[in-house]
Each structure stands twice: as C-alpha cells, then as structure tokens.
Amino acid sequence: MFGPENLPYGVAAPPGGAPRCVVRLHDDAIDLSAMRLPVPEGTFAAPALNPFLALGRATWEATRASLIEQLEAAPRFPLDGAELRLPVQIGDYVDFYSSIEHATNVGRKWRPDNPLPPNWLHLPIGYHGRAGSVVVSGTPIQRPHGLRPSFGPTEQLDVELELAFITGPPGTRVATGRARDHVFGFALLNDWSARDIQSFEYRPLGPFLGKSFATSLSAWITPLQALEPYFVPARAQDPEPAPYLRTQGDHALDIELEIELNGATISRTNSKHLYWTFPQQLAHATVNGARTRPGDVYASGTISGPTPGSEGSLLELGTGFLNDGDTVVLKGSAGSVSLGEVRGTVAG
C-alpha cells in the first residue's frame, strides 16, 4: 500500500523539524519543498497544500508525472515518529446526506411514517458545517455537551463513515462535466455525531451542536488521478435529476470502506452505493453562485450499503453508542490504492 500508483499528499513534521508538504511513498514522506517540480517557486513553502491546489488540474497532473520520474532520488524522511497535520487550511466544510440507505434507515427511526424527506430524491441534501472543528486523524475526541432535552454530555456518541473531496481552483456554478477540473482528491472523514442532541435540535433547521463539535479528516489526500481506474457507473436515479444535476460517464467510486471499533471490524461497505455522486454534489453546492476555494472540504454523508453489516453508523448497526476510551478507525482502499485511515479515541 502507498506505492507509486498512489502517492497521496499531506503535511508532516519530522522529529525536531518544521511541518512541510509531502507525498507519501510506503512508510516515507517525500519532501516536496526540496524537489524541482513544475510549480511556481514557494508553492510548497507553507505547511498546507492550498497554494498547490489553487494551480489546477494541468499542474496537478504534471507534478504527479514529475514525481513519478524522480521517485528513486527524491528527498525523504521516515513517517515513524513524524507528526501529521491537517493537509489543508479549510475555509468551508459542507456535509451531504447522499446515501439513500442511510437516509432511509435513519428516517425510519425518527420519522417512521415518512423516512425520506420529500425533496431527497430531487437534490443532494446538505448542510454547512463548522470548518474550525475539523481535526486531523488521531486527535482525541471530547464528548460534547448540549440539550437532549436535559442538559449534559451526550449519551449517544456516534460515528459516520464518509468520503470527502477537496477542491482546488475557485469556481462557481460548476457543471457536473467540469467537476474533475475543480476536485483535487479524496480523503476519509468521520463526522462524529451526538444523536440525542441532534434528534432534539434538528427541526426545523437541521444539524447544529450535535455535529459541530468534531469532524476527523484523514492526514492523506489521495489525488483524483490515482483513483481514475476505480470509477464505475453510478446507480440509477428515479426520478431523473434536474438538468444541472445530470451526468455522463462513470463517476461513482468503487472504494471498499470499513469501520473498526476497538480492533474489531463492525461494518464493511463501498462508496459506489452512494445515490448522489461527487459531480452532482459540487454542482448543487455551487449552482446558486456560491464559490469553491482551494482546500474546501465536501463530505458525502454517511455511506451505508444495502445489506446487513454495511451500515455506516452505530445508530443503524444497532450496536449501542460509544463509551469513553473507545477507539474508532475508518479505513478505505481501491485495489492497490489505499486511502489510509481516520482514527479517533473518545477522551470523555
């Protein structure tokens, strides 16, 4: 895993050193700031990938080709003992609700007579999250407090198995056919949820304190180019989406995903089950004139599959909620391309 067909991007600090932009090769970090690459001088000087993401698809692809040519002699340091940071400075964070299995499963618990909202099949539902609460994988998770309806720490702390995409050049009203020009890559994401707080507060305006306390993001962004071999046909949509949401070609990702709780795998699913795909999510998020920026994070929402054991949250699995000290690890891979992991331990 993490071989030359992968080469995910991140930010890492070697022991005693400053953080810098890197690419992962096996268990080493390649120092991008110390290489001759087809980017403007200083692109990798800051400890965040935003300047590189802003350069666009042609530069991303040229840089990847140059990296592959120079791999043997590339300057590197071992990741063992290195500190991993958030790979981007996040300006905006959007969380969608794109799995019809997840939406139906949750709807049956909270709205048994009407599991899917009437608009669900017509557009990718989402909400604007709190960018400042996104933390890198491995960060301890504090149990949030809120009204549930009595005030106190959540008694229903949950996980959400998600796949996020990270945008590059600024853009607005991004057509589905242009999504690849604006999406740099993908990363695993866990949108931790306090279900008791969420269920008490979510009507009429949706998620707030039940979601905004912590969201864990992988330290590694897998470039879209590495995942091109794993695009497959998306599932059929009925009714047919509005014209701005229609797509052509393969745009669902065949990525195997799993949830591990305290060392035991409790769920396995695949991102190809998503009803709304990333070009549709981006088109919908920008159709009103909203702009993307380098480093913005757009999450899929919980990914659940159609069979028992493929649910993407504890609420659906029916296994109970998280206890203090529990460790959750989300994993993902597509063939020989690993998306790494998202890890978090409930600190209490």
Structure tokens at 6: 């992968």
Q: Which residue has the tokens 């057509």?
A: 175
Distances in Å between the alpha carbon of 29 and those of 120, 171, 290?
A: 42, 31, 35
H or E segment to which residue 167 belongs = strand 161-167
**CA-to-CA distance for 100 and 298, rounded, in angstroms?**
18
Which residue in 26, 102, 128, 284 is the catalytic one? 102
Instruction: Please give the DSSP secondary-structure letter assigned to residue 322.
Output: P
Structure tokens at 123: 């557009």
**CA-to-CA distance for 225 and 176, rounded, in angstroms?**
17
- 162 close to 191: Cβ distance less than 8 angstroms: yes
284 is a catalytic site residue: no
**CA-to-CA distance for 143 and 157, rounded, in angstroms?**
7
Q: Among the residues of the chain, which ranges form H helices?
A: 50-53, 57-70, 100-110, 179-182, 195-201, 224-227, 278-286, 314-317
**CA-to-CA distance for 284 and 289, rounded, in angstroms?**
10
DSSP β-bridge partners for residue 253:
231
Residue 134: φ, ψ to 5°: -80, 125
Residue 123: φ, ψ to 5°: -160, 155
Distances in Å between the alpha carbon of 32 and those of 47, 60, 65, 70, 226?
A: 11, 13, 14, 11, 18
- Residues marked active site are found at 102
